[in-house]
Amino acid sequence: PLEVLSFIISTNLYFWHPDIVLVCGSDRSIQVFDMNKGTVASEAPDAHSRAIHCITQNKGSAFSSQAPDSYNLFLTSAVTDGMKIWDLRTLRCVRRYENHVNRCQPCSSAVSPCGRFIATGSEDNCAYVYDIRSSNYLHRLQNHSDTVLNVAFNPATPQQGSLCNHAIYSAISTILYKILEVLFISLHYAMKIRNRCSIFLKHVNSCKPKVQIL
């Protein structure tokens, strides 16, 4: 059975096909579902040599314009098989990008708001930026402390941000520390309230009038 690893529900106002869902999974295929008909409109079997872990739509941006045909392009990534760009109309691979390192981690990708550049994470602690029209990378963003898993472009400018494992673990550790700190403080105040209540109850009991039976 197919295990769905990545999918896109188009919510892009600039996209020509708002009623489709792109699905990639463990069988290495790309399937295009027509939501109006409830059927598979087209399929590309064996799109990669390994299971496809990431599919990325060219979403565009309100701050930048692209040629209408550009919105038919989308990206897929698979471990050891690089990154590919596809044309939705023909469901054919247009170009491959393989200069980054992706041997075992699910590194994701992103398309710039102008539609001219592609960014992807990499296991050599770098993020790579490609010209969408060339298989050679333009920039290799270094100095990350671990594998870069996620990348993103600023929707208003061509700036790019990346996120590595170390940053994720640091963020999670900080959140957990804050939660534990709050729980500790809450427990501390709960104990103080309990002690004060005990003292108050003892005081109340000691003030009760004693009834003497004659």
Query: Domain ranges in the chain?
Result: 4-164
Q: What are phi and psi of 63, to 5 degrees?
A: -95, 0
pLDDT tens-place string over residues 153-189: 887 765 555 545 444 444 444 444 444 454 555 555 5
- Put simply, whether the predicted model's pTM sits higher than 0.75 gets the answer no
Below-70 pLDDT ranges, the chain? 1-18, 157-214
Distance from the first to the final alpha carbon of the chain:
88
Whole-number pLDDT of residue 81: 92
The per-residue pLDDT for 166 is 46
- The DSSP call for residue 99 is S
Q: Which CATH number fits domain 4-164: 3.40.1350.10, 3.10.20.30, 2.130.10.10, 2.40.30.10?
A: 2.130.10.10
β-partners of residue 109 are: 120
At residue 88, φ and ψ (nearest 5 deg) are -60, -30
Report how far residue 48's alpha carbon sits from residue 119's, in angstroms, rounded to the nearest whole number.
19
Say how far apart CA 175 and CA 114 lie, in whole Å. 35
Residues 6+ apart with CB under 8 A from 150: 108, 121, 162, 163
